[in-house]
Chains A and B, each alone.
Chain A
Amino acid sequence: MLYLIKYRLLSLMREKNIVYWSILFPIILGTLFYVSFYNISDDMEMIQVAMVDGDTSEKDMFERYLGEVEKDDSEIISIKVMAEKEAMDKLENGDVKGIFYSGDRPRLKVAGNSIESSILQSVYDAYNSEAYVYKDVAEKEPQKLEEILKSSYISGSEETMLTGKKVDGMIQYFFSLIAMECMFGGFIGFQMSSQLQPNVSPVGARRTVTPTHKVKQLAADTIVGFGVQYLSYTILIVYLNNVLKVELGSFSGKIMLIGFAGSLIGVSIGMIVGCISKLTESMKIGILITFGLFSSFLSGLMVGGIKGTIEQYCPIVNRINPSSLISDALYSISVYDDPARYQNDIIILLGMSLVLCMTAFFMTRRESYDSI
């Protein structure tokens, strides 16, 4: 048996296809993600705003307020004072995102709904609400005005995860990447089942005529295939965690258990595809690639919000799509700390793997050939 395992391992590691899809491709894509999302939030450009001068005393107060906002550490807006016509032209052309008017009644003009105009609206609302309170108090309780003018601004909220952890919003892309890595373990399963069938590959034909029992061959293939896939999963996790410093959570047994279930489902999907002997090799590879990509796409590889849309319209997809289950399990331990959800995901993945492995076994057993 050890002899079989050794040579299956050597044979598998010499397959460029396997090494590429299982190890190199996820690392290349992970690096690409890292470059794409690097400093994505820190690089936000300042919003360009025009200020049209009014002619009354109140303009000073509004202008001073905007000046404070402009000087703020977060560097949200950059204000330039200009004449109304110039400001309108710039707003029309998109060179500025809004115009603040100082005067008796400060105003804000924006060109439409956008994130920038929403932020300008928040700045404008904050000023107006404060001014409204001061005016109201000045009219009704003038003796208290001085006191409330001295009061400092309170920031009454903080962003937390329910578990108390802070999580980068871009982490979901890396979870889907890990799921995709497991799905591309299908190439190993495909290779294994192809090399067990005499009508599919010459290696399969040679192995079939040997006196070694098929169950022994299958066991050796499964151990090696699964082992290689699990190793490539570990390499990816170590690369993301230690080289790219993506915070996947602690490098725990739970993450490794997800790798176990994910590797198993990936390899077994490949075995099933490899067992369909009527298809050409290019068709089978095409199926593995498109299935791996599409399944990972549905778990959020290309669009972060897709899982939410699926949950709204067709939640069953999130319960049976292997990539979604893998990324869900990673969410459960890294973001939500939800052991019940994690267990569910792992059980479904293992159950599906078992069914697929059994199906692959029944598809290949007791086949007899008159001529190959």
Chain B
Amino acid sequence: MTVFKGYMLIIKKKIGVIFMYFAIFTAIAVLTQYTYTHEEQKNFTNVSRIIGVADMDNSELSKGLIRYLSAVHEINKMPADTGKLQESLYYYRNDIIIQIPKGFEKSLSGDIKKLKITRQPGSYNYMYISSQTDRFLNMVKKYCMAGYNINDSVKKVCDYKGEQVELISSNNDGGIPNIAYLFRYFVYLSISVLCYVLGMILVVFRKREIKNRIGASAVSDRRQAAEAVGAFLIVGTALWALFIIIGIALYRDEFFHVKHLEYYFINSYMMMLVSLALAFLIGMIIEKENIVNMIVTPLALGMCFLGGVFVPLNVAGNFSKKLGHFLPSYWYEVVNDRIAEFKILDSESMSIVWSGIGMQALFVIAFIGAALAVMKYKKQER
């Protein structure tokens, strides 16, 4: 077990750096899932928004609009001061700003003076709010044309409750468990930490004098490889287990009651194996420690941006999705999304899940194959 002990010795020596990488990337993964859980839930229409309204018309129509919106949303009345409005958006005190222009009511019968709606950059609130303001204005306008005055028209519109949408309890009800968000970011944690750590260790083993010493020892190549694989698996499994423990600490009971927990485990363990294989390949190519960071940082970020980790697959552009097919992170996210969205995994879902896991397994084989080829080439070169 000399080689195995060698790996463990280097890990012990570098435990400070390893711990630092683990802590930072875990913090990023946890904070990201926390933010996304909140942001994505905000995209559903039944959640009210905080709307800042600057009413420059101060008419019956503008007051009616505010009353209509306040049935669903929280309204902050704001002065018509651009600086104050900017500040409220800037400090997230309002999700959206509506400016009602002077002469708004008078223009209803003719060419309407449009409401100016400003949203937080990066949010999707505009369509949601504008569909409500348009509905209000069209209803009021029609009542006015029918001979009602503004007051009565506004009252009629505000009294209208609308039709209920029927919600069915289904296999795919749009509800995603919070744990799925945590597992979504496992890719970043796994690739970053394992590739940094194992890349650094392999670089040590690639130093000429160490390589020569090992080469001259009585330990066979096969045994060396087996002990190296053992050390890699222990590091990878330890990281995976730590991640699971963090998940349990964050979600406690919810963690054990989530549907398809076993598939979350299988999928994330497979991703961990992909990261190990990738780390092995990186370690074979690179000869200097400072190059490891240069390769791993853009690689991890690139795989996450194109593979649906930071930009979810359902909103990613088609070109980015096509590129994603060539990355293991994409297949991991396909599986993660499927088990998160569906309560029951029927045969179609199961085939998606297993083909996603299978694709990751193929990446493991491909990375190891490439690493062995590099290893052989470098040996011959020597």
Contacts and interface: CB of A to CB of B under 8 A. Distances in A.
B369 interface: no
Nearest to B143: A133
Interface in B97-138: 97-98, 112, 114-124, 126-131, 133-135, 137-138
B45 interface: yes
A164 B317 CA distance: 28
B147 A141 contact: yes
Contact of B293 (A124, A289, A341): A289
Nearest to A113: B44
Given A109-B166, A133-B139, A162-B82, A39 B318 contact: yes
Interface stretch (A225-233, A267-275, A279-287): A279-287
Contact of B162 (A125, A134, A281): A125
SS of A interface (majority) = helix
Interface stretch (B170-178, B248-256, B355-363, B372-380): B170-178
A369 interface: no
Q: Which of A88, A157, A315 has the most CB of B within 10 A?
A: A157
B185 to A, nearest CB: 9
Contacts of B24: 290, 293-294
A362 interface: no
Given A39-B317, A148-B146, A306-B32, A32 B305 contact: yes
Contacts of A132: 139, 160
Interface in A286-318: 286-287, 289-290, 293-294, 297, 302-309, 311-312, 315
Contacts, number: 290
Interface string B275-316: 000000000000001100110011001101110001100011
A307 B317 CA distance: 24
Contacts of A338: 83, 86-87, 90
Contact of A286 (B17, B97, B167, B172): B17
B341 to A, nearest CB: 7
Contacts of B269: none
B217 interface: no
Interface residues of A, number: 102
A108 B166 contact: yes
Contacts of A154: 112, 134, 137-138, 141
A144 to B, nearest CB: 4
A137 interface: yes
A112 B174 contact: yes
A111 B46 contact: no
B225 to A, nearest CB: 26
Nearest to B320: A36
B234 interface: no
B348 interface: yes
Interface of B: 14, 16-17, 20-21, 24, 27-28, 31-32, 34-36, 38-39, 43-46, 82-83, 85-87, 89-92, 97-98, 112, 114-124, 126-131, 133-135, 137-139, 141-143, 145-147, 156, 160, 162-163, 165-168, 170-175, 196, 200, 289-290, 293-294, 297-298, 301-302, 304-306, 310-311, 315-320, 323, 341-342, 346, 348
